Structure 1
Amino acid sequence: MTNISKFILLICFCYTTTSSASAQELRSPDNNLTLKFSLGNTGSPVYQLSYKGKSVIKPSNLGFQLKNAADLLNGFEIADTKQSTFDESWKPVWGEVKIIRNHYNELAVTLKQPASDRFIVVRFRLFNDGLGFRYEFPQQKNLNYFTIKEEKTQFALAGDHKAFWLPGDYDTQEYSTTTSNLSEVRGKMKAAVTPNVSQKTFSETGLQTPLMMKSKDGLYINIHEAALINYSTMSLELNDKDMVLESVLTPDAIGDKGYMQAPTQSPWRTIIVSDKAGDILMSKTILNLNEPTKFKDTSWIKPIKYVGVWWEMITGKSTWAYNDLDNVQLGVTDYSKTTPNGKHAANTKRVKEYIDFAAENGLDAVLVEGWNEGWEDWFGKTKDYVFDFVTPYPDFDVKELHRYAASKNVKIMMHHETSSSVRNYERHLDTAYKFMVDNGYNAVKSGYVGNIIPRGEHHYGQWLVNHYQYAIEKAAEYKIMVNAHEAVRPTGLSRTYPNLLANEAARGTEYEAFGGNNADHTTILPFTRLMGGPMDYTPGIFETKISAYNPENNSFVHSTLARQLALYVTMYSPLQMAADLPETYNKYKDAFQFIKDVAVDWDDTKVLEAEPGDYITFARKAKGTNNWFVGSTCDENGRTSTVNLDFLDANKKYIATVYADGKDAHYELNPKAYVIKKINVKKGAKLSQYCAPGGGYAISIIEIK
């Protein structure tokens, strides 16, 4: 990654004081945000944040409870403060924009606790769009190895905000978003907690991050974390009487929250704030709080548009498993002597059909799930040795498919379902990655379905966070890109490790086959889940009745066909799947053209309209071109979208192809009603477009040369 301009203006205000009353103030570069830091009467660290004079975070406490040691909560004196300014611009390996500016003012406060002869540093970075702060633990005699009982970071809110929330859970984010005032969380929690194969809620007022809120006076506020490394994931406990959120770290199997060795630090705690919803979507604060890439060579990291042998299994048309046995053991079960079930999708003939489709339509790769032995009895079992990640079923010819895909200039994407047996995955990881390299795979989708093995660990605890990190770094050694499902929600680490192309970490399209996502789902996710990094949402479902593939499944996709196209623009990811079946796309070739055309990497991005829970409209400029793509998604109410194409170049002409809802389209009643029209456009043209309930539109704007 190359810094194209970088300068540091260091303005130090350094002094030593024993006065606990000394208050510090820090302003953002544009002076809209103001941070104040002080010590309370008991020597407790306190911060507060305002935006354009409006309170965002009222005075809130900081600190830690430690196990078998004195707490780091009070009794502090300010030993030193330093302020500085930093400004650079950097190029992401892939992303929504070509260049990202990293501009902040910083306050580093050194706090000494005389009674224990210990000290910590609280570092604040104030950007134009938000605040990041973290705890740092320098090496010292009396704070060396220590165990966190709980982090006690508070976010005291200025009111009973409207919130877009998920139940606090140590194992899953796969819940529907509930929209309510914070004061209503307790009453709505029971209904919000729906079944999942692995879940552990912790409170009737516990919430997950990213937490998106809107105040009654029009401020948009987002709370999350950045650079989650060697630390437990943070959730939030709501005090619904005082409207105070407090951090809750994910525990390990014996209840400890983190094992630390100085020198070390916490992740950054982030508060993104603006009076414009679009500013939240375009914030790069979380990325900027992560370190630059660790890789000297990033040429092997490429955005991917792919199809996959996946949706037909999700719908129940086909199976992952080769046969119907209910007890198999790797190295013991001889699959060549078993009877195939006739529905196994990952067979050589069927995969070749997907490869042909990808090649014919200019797609990069084919994801194949269920290709390896062991799928018959893994689900829901506490089974350590499930998969070895290298042994194919008898009907899956690895070498022939490698040859065939290469001849068509198509990659096959590997799938590693770990069944959450993390020890087993780690013991096979080198061998599995080497197998990928030997057989032409350069990207892997990993999965962590079910309760974690070792028993008692959680998906978002420190132990698992370290495992996910290990898998990403190990993949980089083999020049492999990673798409992790059921893993921890992203915190901007894709800046440091850009081979982490995407995560799942939310309810994706698969839930459309399990009963459906709410119609407003995709108007909320960019404000919540996508704040920390891209999602493998797997859009592009054209056959909205699941029964068309599986007569026993009466679910339907809660979206119009036109909105499925829009998601390629509104749900940003450098990893985009055309998730439906090739035979379905061949029935709708005119609509599929947008999926063929749309980019997966961008030079520029504009938010044209946005209101969380209601609608979002993005415009994005394809990497290295003058072509733009627009996507708009709305909730169950429908609306008319009005946008200005003033982002186009003044001296160029364009032809716009609009893929829109038909006049009688409706996500439940008539989802496949769509119209396609072509119009000539230029800079400043205004567009008014109807969006049906649960619908939207997509536009390709191609330069006329």
Structure 2
Amino acid sequence: MKQIILAVMVFAATTIQAQKISSPDKNFEMTFALSTKGEPTYALTYKNKPVIKTSKLGIDTKDVAPMLDGFTIDKTETATFDETWQPVWGEEKTIRNHYNELAVTLSQKAENGRYIRIRFRLFNDGLGFRYEFPLQENLTYFVIKEERTQFALAGDHKAFWLPGDYDTQEYSTVTSKLSEVRGLMDTAITPNASQTPFSPTGLQTPLMMKSDDGLYINIHEAALVEYSCMSLNLDDKNMVLESWLTPDAIGNKGYMQAPWQSPWRTIVVSDKAGDILLSRMIYNLNEPTAYEDTSWIKPVKYCGVWWEMITGKSTWAYADVPSVKLGETDFNALTPNGKHAANTAHVKEYIDFAAAHGLDAVLVEGWNVGWEDWFGKSKDYVFDFVTPYPDFDVKELHRYAASKGIKMIMHHETSGAVRNYERWIDKAYQYMVDNGYNAVKSGYVGDIIPRGEYHYGQWMVNHYLYAVKKAAEYKIMVNAHEAVRPTGLARTYPNLIGNESARGTEYESFGGNNPDHTTILPFTRLMGGPMDYTPGIFQTKISAYNPDNNSFVHTTLAKQLALYVTMYSPLQMAADLPETYKKHLDAFQFIEDVAVDWDQTWVLEAEPGDYITMARKAKGKEEWYLGAITDENTREATFTFEFLPKGKTYTATIYADGKDASYDNNPQSYTVKKVKVNSKTKLKQKLATSGGCAISVK
């Protein structure tokens, strides 16, 4: 690790109203100042172009005087920091953390000299800042009414946005001018198992935008700990975004105890779209890894008993009865429905497939009792996470999987009954250890219990991290679905190997994701961490599994392969059924081969909402994988291989859309061919409508 720290402290008189810092490469300049009312403000430029115009900062409080105005500058401190660090898993082997810092201490004389600190870090890819509340006599406990952080934009930008909601991110992204948000909001809000929209101009982060003069701007947050998740509310007359925190059951938005700090507010900017995808600023704003031993944390490629239930071919429930009660219902006395997928014999088929094709693990959903009446009931004691159905032999499957070299992934659906999950969590994790499970997929479908709490409020934010840290005590990796969107915490807690927090592949069975969906997610949802998107669907007509479901996957088969490169995750699922993969083993070879951990990543071409072409080098191997995807439009992707070692020739296997391929009429048309490539090679490949191309280079 290389580390250089240079700090300079400047004590400023209260008459000094403005301070400036630049990024290490001088492309960014950030200005801090106090208004005539003593209101903290900041502004940001990139290559002399305005990104954020003068914007106010502050915290509105409920039980003490607001921290909004009446401030004077006590002192300013500047520092420069430069290091390289190695993530446990990631898109690069090493990450550089290089920034210039300005910390401004502000006091309110009218409040007996009460003071706060605002810390700014300016990187070569953007700005991060946070509020800090040092321990002091006049500021200990306080309740946040609202955070008043503004982002005054320089124009009516093109935006890729989701409706602001306290409970879900599972909406289709809308692409429009910011001025059009209000008129589109009603149609943007589609049904979900739990949802609480909060404003006709409310937006979620990460919010991706593009200005008329070609700047790509992304607003999000980093290191969300013991604080409410931030959304944004748009003043569409003045083009000002303002922070909007998720409340609790009685409307309060945060309970603070000094010393503490807010999460970082992040603004990533570039004039190249690909630079947004390569930014690691959000990770850099998180603390280093909290664990001394990380040897038990391993990237995973898996299959599982899941998609067949999502499509309606099979069920999670063991029996078709209207009501069950744990501790009272005798599940051995129930009549099996004949469609329960999580049975011992069937799971062994998945284990056999995984072992035969080089996968690491098998996920099984619906293994534990209680699924008969779990959904939408606001029921506290739904699952106990330790009692299997009569047809699921935990110990035998542990033995069988171990004999094949396969790990098992546990599933814990809380159904939003969070109090119940915490009641069982130690027993559930110990049960996993006792039966050979080292990873869990947790779910939070439905409204939260305690009733009135929201998925993204401070109480739930604390729970998600509690579950991750508790899992680490048992050396368990966590893949949390329906949880709060990630903010780079996987740097600190790398056993958080996956999240959902967006519309995943399951929605292809619920009516379909838009063709541009996965050309946007890397610019939005993936900014804070990887997504368990569950790609790899080869049978794109859902009716092939369930005649009553006429949905179809809005991609070609080749695009499904490319997603393993463009949708980064250390947890990648081969989501389709083994019997389908066996019909296309030549295409499945790419899923067998593709890495889940990387030494380096390159963006060859990208435009949010339109297309992405990426290349990655496998961790510790002389292997490279490339992926290109497009939206509903056909296009010609350009692959360059400048990243290959010079003077060497490699074999590239190209998995491409067939000449007659299209996502809606002929999605399974694909070709596989091999060509020789070197560092000077350039290839062009036609992509079908919502099509793709995947390439392995060895």
- TM-score normalized by structure 1? 0.99
2:18 corresponds to 1:5: no
The whole-number CA distance in structure 2 between the counterparts of 1:480 and 1:701 is: 33
2:334 corresponds to 1:315: no
Which aligned pairs between 1:620-659 and structure 2 lie closer than 5 A? 620-659=616-655
The whole-number CA distance in structure 2 between the counterparts of 1:388 and 1:305 is: 27
- The one-letter code of the counterpart of 2:87 is P
2:30 corresponds to 1:35: yes
User: Corresponding residue for 1:588?
Assistant: 584
Q: How far did residue 314 of structure 1 move? A: 0.1
- The one-letter code of the counterpart of 1:75 is G
2:675 corresponds to 1:676: no
2:58 corresponds to 1:63: yes
Q: Decide which of 399, 410, 427 is 1:431's aligned counterpart.
A: 427
User: Corresponding residue for 1:544?
Assistant: 540
Which aligned pairs between 1:448-527 and structure 2 lie closer than 5 A? 448-527=444-523
2:389 corresponds to 1:393: yes
User: Corresponding residue for 2:692?
Assistant: 696
Q: Decide which of 605, 612, 616 is 2:608's aligned counterpart.
A: 612
The whole-number CA distance in structure 2 between the counterparts of 1:323 and 1:289 is: 49
User: Corresponding residue for 2:374?
Assistant: 378
User: Corresponding residue for 1:155?
Assistant: 151
User: Corresponding residue for 1:192?
Assistant: 188
The whole-number CA distance in structure 2 between the counterparts of 1:574 and 1:205 is: 35
- The one-letter code of the counterpart of 1:512 is E
2:442 corresponds to 1:446: yes
Q: Decide which of 346, 359, 365 is 1:350's aligned counterpart.
A: 346
Q: How far did residue 142 of structure 1 move? A: 1.1
- 5+ unaligned residues in a row in structure 2: which ranges? none
Q: Decide which of 275, 278, 297 is 1:301's aligned counterpart.
A: 297
- The one-letter code of the counterpart of 2:6 is L
- The one-letter code of the counterpart of 1:336 is N
The whole-number CA distance in structure 1 between the counterparts of 2:54 and 2:639 is: 40
User: Corresponding residue for 2:12?
Assistant: 16
User: Corresponding residue for 2:97?
Assistant: 102
The whole-number CA distance in structure 1 between the counterparts of 2:644 and 2:676 is: 12
Q: How far did residue 462 of structure 1 move? A: 0.1
Q: How far did residue 224 of structure 1 move? A: 0.0
- Give the secondary-structure state (helix, strand or coil) at the position aligned to 1:46: strand
The whole-number CA distance in structure 2 between the counterparts of 1:618 and 1:642 is: 10
Q: Decide which of 44, 48, 52 is 1:49's aligned counterpart.
A: 44
- Give the secondary-structure state (helix, strand or coil) at the position aligned to 2:187: helix
Q: How far did residue 514 of structure 1 move? A: 0.2
The whole-number CA distance in structure 2 between the counterparts of 1:269 and 1:111 is: 19
Runs (4+) of structure 1 moved beyond 2 Å?
none
Q: How far did residue 480 of structure 1 move? A: 0.2
- Give the secondary-structure state (helix, strand or coil) at the position aligned to 2:632: coil
Q: Decide which of 221, 227, 232 is 1:225's aligned counterpart.
A: 221
2:319 corresponds to 1:326: no
The whole-number CA distance in structure 2 between the counterparts of 1:69 and 1:441 is: 48
Q: Decide which of 76, 88, 93 is 1:93's aligned counterpart.
A: 88
Q: How far did residue 649 of structure 1 move? A: 0.6
Q: How far did residue 498 of structure 1 move? A: 0.2
The whole-number CA distance in structure 1 between the counterparts of 2:683 and 2:605 is: 12
Q: Decide which of 196, 206, 218 is 2:202's aligned counterpart.
A: 206
User: Corresponding residue for 1:143?
Assistant: 139
2:175 corresponds to 1:179: yes
User: Corresponding residue for 1:340?
Assistant: 336
Q: How far did residue 14 of structure 1 move? A: 1.3
- The one-letter code of the counterpart of 1:537 is Y
Q: How far did residue 5 of structure 1 move? A: 1.5
The whole-number CA distance in structure 2 between the counterparts of 1:494 and 1:444 is: 15
The whole-number CA distance in structure 1 between the counterparts of 2:91 and 2:525 is: 16
Q: How far did residue 664 of structure 1 move? A: 1.2
- The one-letter code of the counterpart of 2:284 is N
- Give the secondary-structure state (helix, strand or coil) at the position aligned to 1:115: helix
The whole-number CA distance in structure 2 between the counterparts of 1:47 and 1:8 is: 25
- The one-letter code of the counterpart of 1:136 is E
- The one-letter code of the counterpart of 2:270 is S
- The one-letter code of the counterpart of 1:60 is S
The whole-number CA distance in structure 2 between the counterparts of 1:109 and 1:15 is: 10
| Coordinate RMSD, CA, aligned | 0.5
| Superimposed CA distance per residue, residues 287-332 of structure 1 (whole angstroms, 9 cap, x where no aligned partner) | 0000000000000000000000000000000000000011100110
Q: How far did residue 643 of structure 1 move? A: 2.5
The whole-number CA distance in structure 1 between the counterparts of 2:575 and 2:224 is: 30
- Give the secondary-structure state (helix, strand or coil) at the position aligned to 2:10: coil
- Give the secondary-structure state (helix, strand or coil) at the position aligned to 2:427: helix
| Superimposed CA distance per residue, residues 121-163 of structure 1 (whole angstroms, 9 cap, x where no aligned partner) | 0000000000000000000111100000000000000000000
Q: How far did residue 74 of structure 1 move? A: 0.3
User: Corresponding residue for 1:571?
Assistant: 567
The whole-number CA distance in structure 2 between the counterparts of 1:294 and 1:636 is: 43
Q: How far did residue 22 of structure 1 move? A: 2.1
- The one-letter code of the counterpart of 1:701 is V
2:258 corresponds to 1:262: yes
| Superimposed CA distance per residue, residues 34-70 of structure 1 (whole angstroms, 9 cap, x where no aligned partner) | 0000000100000000000000000000001100221
| Superimposed CA distance per residue, residues 225-254 of structure 1 (whole angstroms, 9 cap, x where no aligned partner) | 000000000000000000000000000000
Q: Decide which of 234, 241, 261 is 2:237's aligned counterpart.
A: 241
- The one-letter code of the counterpart of 2:39 is S
Q: How far did residue 672 of structure 1 move? A: 0.6
- 5+ unaligned residues in a row in structure 1: which ranges? none
- Percent of aligned pairs with the same residue? 73
Q: How far did residue 104 of structure 1 move? A: 0.2
The whole-number CA distance in structure 2 between the counterparts of 1:366 and 1:184 is: 45
- Give the secondary-structure state (helix, strand or coil) at the position aligned to 1:522: helix
The whole-number CA distance in structure 2 between the counterparts of 1:318 and 1:460 is: 32
The whole-number CA distance in structure 2 between the counterparts of 1:638 and 1:696 is: 10
The whole-number CA distance in structure 2 between the counterparts of 1:457 and 1:223 is: 25
Q: How far did residue 652 of structure 1 move? A: 2.1
| Superimposed CA distance per residue, residues 534-569 of structure 1 (whole angstroms, 9 cap, x where no aligned partner) | 000000000000000000000000000000000000
The whole-number CA distance in structure 2 between the counterparts of 1:455 and 1:95 is: 37
2:546 corresponds to 1:560: no
User: Corresponding residue for 2:285?
Assistant: 289
- Give the secondary-structure state (helix, strand or coil) at the position aligned to 2:553: coil
- Give the secondary-structure state (helix, strand or coil) at the position aligned to 2:660: coil
The whole-number CA distance in structure 1 between the counterparts of 2:59 and 2:619 is: 45
- The one-letter code of the counterpart of 1:645 is F
User: Corresponding residue for 2:404?
Assistant: 408
Q: How far did residue 642 of structure 1 move? A: 1.4
- The one-letter code of the counterpart of 1:619 is A
Q: How far did residue 221 of structure 1 move? A: 0.1
- Give the secondary-structure state (helix, strand or coil) at the position aligned to 1:383: coil
- Give the secondary-structure state (helix, strand or coil) at the position aligned to 2:303: strand
| Superimposed CA distance per residue, residues 444-467 of structure 1 (whole angstroms, 9 cap, x where no aligned partner) | 000000000000000000000000
